[in-house]
Chains A and B, each alone.
Chain A
Amino acid sequence: MQWLKQLFSRRRRYDDLSVSIQEHLEEKIDELMEGGMSREEATYAARREFGNVTLIEERGHEVWQWPVLESIWADLKYALRQLFKHPGFAAIAVLTLTLGIGATTGIFSVMNAVLLRSLPLPNPQQLFYLQVPGGQPYGATNTGNTSETSFSAPVFEALRQNHHIFSDLMAFAPISGIEGKVALRVGNSAEQAKGDLVSGNFFSGLGVAFAQGRGFSLTDEKQHSSAVVLSYAYWTQRFSRSPSVLGQTIFIKGIPFTIVGIASENFRGVEPGQSTDFWIPLQARPEFDPWGTSPGDFTLYGSPNWWCLNLIARLVPGVTPQEAIAETNPQFQTAAYASLGTPNPKRPRVKLALIPAKGIYGLTDSYREPINILMGLVALVLIIACSNVAMLIIARNTSRLREFSLRFALGARRSTLLRQLLIESVLLVALGAIGGWLVAIGATRTLAAWSQLQVNLAPDHTVLLFTGVISVLAAITFSLAPLYIAANAPVTGALRASASTSYQTRQGKFGGNVVLALQIALCFTLLTVAGLFLRTLLNYENTNLGIQTQGLLVFGITPQHMSSTDAPYIFYRRLLARLRVLPGVQSATFTELRPGNGWSSNIEAVVDGVKYPFSQVRLSVNHVGPDFLHVLEIPLLQGRDINDSDTTTSPRVVVVNETFVTKLFPHSNPIGHQLGDPKRSYTIIGVAKDSKDISVDEGAVAMAYFPYTQGEGAPSTLQVEVRSTGSPLALLPSITRAVHEVDANLPLEQPMTEVGVFQDSYVQQRLLSRLALSFGLLATLLVAIGLYGTLSYRVSRRTTEIGVRMALGARRSQVLNLVIWESLRVAAVGVATGIPLAFLTGHLMESMLFGLAPYDVVSLVIALASVTCIGLIASYLPARRAASIDPMRALRSE
């Protein structure tokens, strides 16, 4: 604490010193005057003998200081004063850095959350998702997001015995697959929530902590107990964190479950990219089949060939994933083929893979490529921002050469000067980093809303570290600039030259032009990319869907407590009858799969008893309600629509689409032919025009629409399509009432407009185009600022030269052209460099484009036009200023 005491006693020490020195001088003066000098002479002599009082006091003070630290502090204060003296420069530099660092940090936050961040669980590096590259064995059936992530119950049982490899192997699967949520009743209110079926060791194996109550045990799994654990978020949102919910009963799909625990706040489940609201142990009853549906009459425990469970493992410490695979793979293969008979030797054997449970898309890779592209784009923005600031700093330091020369002349050391310039750079970067951090926090909120990702995108300490690293890199870049100045500032040259005389070497100007051209190249690339994404988005928006989506409302409905096999049909018929007469409803129908939501059901086509392999025709099927084509306004080309007379007992019928006809009946009329297994075939009664089934960007697909009444058993959930006369969403309250008249417990599942369903199918493309456009505009703005700043600076340096030119007869238009041409020449070089760069980038993102080639001429031309505009606009103001120079005044100032 000695230093602290010193710090406070310092002021007194300084006063002591001043008093001493003052008295010293006075006494000496007195003495000299006694010797006969005048007061003036004596003062002069005393001071001369004593030396520089201020300097000596300074040296006395230094004893009490930390010289390095304190001179840095002094430099910092000086740097701040300098920034306040030039607020324009400071504002532009800090703002540029703020935008550059902010954008980079924002995108990195997403990258971190989506690709890098581990699950918020103890020892997350031991957690791995299990996968089967290539899908489950031939002959088995799967339900799940992809066939690579699903496992059968016997395989799970066999693998979980390996306690020397997996300290725990956990199974999980959503209760409802297609629409994600299940009906839930708390007291009297019906609602929906996202739930997972999990094995008994799910919470203990993952190491989830509990805010309240307990998790599950293996007994819960064996007995399929009716216990439920809620997520913290759901507890907060639905029960306002009431501690009394433990022991309360909630009804899931109409079955009572008792709340036994609340998971800790940071655990959102292990479903990739989604948060789970509640968990229940694996159940044996068919209502709780994983994914809410099973092909045919499969059950979780009764159908060894049904692959429907996702697995996540915690490895025993010290076991590597390679060892785990080597050890368990033979056993996995035995279990996989146990119920399928001898595997076909011609087909590759299934093989186990372990994927680190990192990021939210550990299971799918669909976000990796777009995020990498975005990271690349934002890096370009950062480069532009940093080079801009570097040029600003160089320009400003060059205009301060006189000051530096003066300081050299007065004995300043180059190292002192360098230190001060570095501190100025570091100060700028620090301010920019703080601003960037704030921008990033705001940007990630917007991004989370835009991307519709249910993940926490808020920057964490990894992101903070990242921001720190890029700031340090930026600071280093800017330090190179003052280093150049400090090493090259002449002591005498700048002092001798007048302020307005150009002091710009040919070399310096060339360097500046290279940086500007590079910036323009990068900007051109970013604009091309933005153009490509925007045009992709436009293509998505303007694609003819074949369905009139405007005015269509869609929601799901799951009838409950159905006592007989006919009961669901009666329920659906009553519901449709009720909806049809609702005011504001033009027409209504059912569909098993919502067009545009990404799901399809595919079968092998059997026409008139002839089987067409999958490789030849992929037939998508859907089960739909009466007047389906009419309600969705899909044009009918031939025959009739499915209607109310197509019931469970009437002759089986099917409507096919154009592509179906082109592929299977190229030369004949399909009407009257039979589709499906001869034992249970359907007569083709109509042909519909092609329409989009799963997404906007799919190609032509052969489709068959069956009446929902003629499938194998009643669908457990149907989607209701309602065509409204006005705004579809305005109908919701009256529809909700109408549904409740039929069954008071039923919620409307995921009600939305059909327009919205299709829009959601290209959320990622919309997000990409918005971000790419933001980056493009940001880059344009930065480049414009950089170009404008550099040209203005050059014009101000060349005032005298331009004055001379004009005095010698140059016209104003010639001066104007002089500056504008300089800018356009640089722009031309930039574009020439940018075109290959843009081609390369376009090529990299080819898979993300829709309806256009990566070498899209329109995008290139737009980018070219934009860059030319920047070149003209940014140079026009400085050029006009140059042209308005008064030659007399310019020369007089020399």
Chain B
Amino acid sequence: MAKNSEQRDLFAGALELMILHSLRLKPMHGYALVKHIKQVSGDLLQVEEGSLYPALQRMLKEGWLEAEAGISAKGRPTRIYRLTDAGMRRLEQEVSSFEKMFAGITRVLAVSNA
């Protein structure tokens, strides 16, 4: 029921993949996630802040994440998102399917270059 059509990610599922991957390192709150992705990608990937939260809700609903009350770096109350076992499995699946896709795209591009 999620409205995927309004996602402005690079491609479908990319935002989810990044969130899952980031949260595997450590549980984080929303703003920290945004900053983390920006930092790690060396500013190449900009997370649309507006899409982050609906995406988080979707993933909560799927059971990949859990939210718990926590305190932000600045000492304000917030919600910390944590990866669940189901989320971990999902991440593995996603990673392998992305890898296949990249491999495919790479091959196609290689052919056209030749």
Q: Show the binding face of A for B, using Cβ within 8 Å.
A: 13, 16-17, 19-21, 23-24, 26-28, 30, 49-52, 55-57, 59-64, 66-67
Contacts and interface: CB of A to CB of B under 8 A. Distances in A.
Interface stretch (B18-26, B75-83, B105-113): B75-83
Given A16-B79, A60-B54, A21 B30 contact: yes
A24 B1 contact: no
Contacts of B30: 20-21, 23-24
A484 B61 CA distance: 40
Contact of A52 (B48, B50, B54): B50
Contacts of B1: 62-63, 66-67
Given A30-B74, A56-B54, A62 B3 contact: yes
A26 B74 contact: yes
A23 B53 contact: no
Nearest to A50: B49
Given A21-B30, A23-B29, A63 B58 contact: yes
Contacts of A57: 53
Contacts of B114: none
A55 B51 CA distance: 11
A56 B79 contact: no
A67 B3 CA distance: 11
B88 interface: no
A20 B72 CA distance: 10
Contacts of B79: 16, 19-20
A27 B72 contact: yes
A22 B81 CA distance: 15
Contacts of B61: 63-64
A60 B31 contact: no
5 contacts: A19-B79, A21-B30, A24-B78, A27-B73, A60-B56
Question: Among A28, A50, A59, which residue has the most Cβ atoms of chain B within 10 A?
Answer: A59
B2 interface: yes
B17 interface: no
A17 B74 contact: no
B5 to A, nearest CB: 12
A17 B67 CA distance: 10
A481 to B, nearest CB: 32
Interface in B46-98: 48-50, 53-54, 56-58, 60-61, 67, 72-74, 76-79
B29 A59 contact: no
Binding site of A, secondary structure by majority: helix, strand, loop or mixed?
Answer: helix
Contacts of B74: 26-27, 30
Given A23-B72, A63-B61, A51 B50 contact: yes
Given A13-B60, A23-B31, A60 B53 contact: yes
A740 B60 CA distance: 91
Closest 8 CB pairs of A and B: A51-B50, A23-B78, A63-B57, A59-B54, A24-B31, A60-B57, A27-B31, A20-B79
Nearest to A51: B50
B77 A23 contact: yes
B53 A20 contact: yes
A489 B15 CA distance: 40
A20 B78 contact: yes
Contact of B57 (A24, A27, A50, A64): A64
Q: How large is the interface on B (under 10, 10 to 19, 20 to 34, 35 or more residues)?
A: 20 to 34
A13 B77 CA distance: 15
Given A56-B53, A62-B3, A28 B77 contact: no
A696 B32 CA distance: 98
B22 to A, nearest CB: 15
Contacts of A55: 50
Nearest to A30: B74
B50 A56 contact: yes
A16 B76 contact: no
Nearest to B1: A67
A35 to B, nearest CB: 14
A49 B35 CA distance: 14
B76 to A, nearest CB: 5
A56 B34 CA distance: 16
Nearest to A56: B50
A19 B61 CA distance: 18
A475 B8 CA distance: 41
Contacts of B29: 20, 23-24
Nearest to B76: A23
A61 B3 CA distance: 12
Contacts of B73: 27
A744 B60 CA distance: 90
Nearest to B2: A63
Given A20-B79, A63-B57, A28 B31 contact: yes
A28 B35 CA distance: 10
Contacts of A50: 49-50
Contacts of A61: 57
Nearest to B53: A60
Contacts of B72: 23, 27
Question: Among A52, A56, A61, which residue has the most Cβ atoms of chain B within 10 A?
Answer: A56
A21 B53 contact: yes
B61 to A, nearest CB: 5
Contacts of A13: 57, 60
Question: Among A50, A52, A67, which residue has the most Cβ atoms of chain B within 10 A?
Answer: A50
Given A27-B76, A51-B48, A63-B58, 18 more contacts: A13-B60, A16-B79, A17-B53, A20-B30, A20-B56, A20-B67, A23-B76, A24-B49, A24-B78, A30-B74, A56-B50, A60-B53, A60-B56, A61-B57, A63-B2, A63-B54, A64-B61, A66-B1
Nearest to A15: B79
A55 B74 CA distance: 26
A45 to B, nearest CB: 12
Nearest to B59: A63
Contacts of A49: 49
B81 to A, nearest CB: 9
A239 to B, nearest CB: 65
Nearest to A14: B57
A8 to B, nearest CB: 15
Contacts of B50: 50-52, 55-56
Contacts of A59: 3, 6, 53-54
B15 to A, nearest CB: 14
B89 to A, nearest CB: 19
A19 B78 contact: yes
Nearest to B68: A16
Contacts of B56: 20, 60
Nearest to A23: B78
A17 to B, nearest CB: 6
Contacts of A52: 50
A721 B52 CA distance: 97
Nearest to A60: B57
A55 B6 CA distance: 12
A24 B33 CA distance: 10
Contacts of B3: 59, 62
B54 A16 contact: no
A70 to B, nearest CB: 11
A17 B49 contact: no
Question: Among A13, A23, A28, A60, which residue has the most Cβ atoms of chain B within 10 A?
Answer: A23
A189 B3 CA distance: 82
Nearest to B71: A23
A624 B1 CA distance: 89
A608 B106 CA distance: 127
B76 A26 contact: yes
Contacts of B31: 23-24, 27-28
Contacts of A62: 1-3, 54
B42 to A, nearest CB: 19
A773 to B, nearest CB: 57
A27 B3 CA distance: 28
Contacts of A26: 74, 76
A321 to B, nearest CB: 56
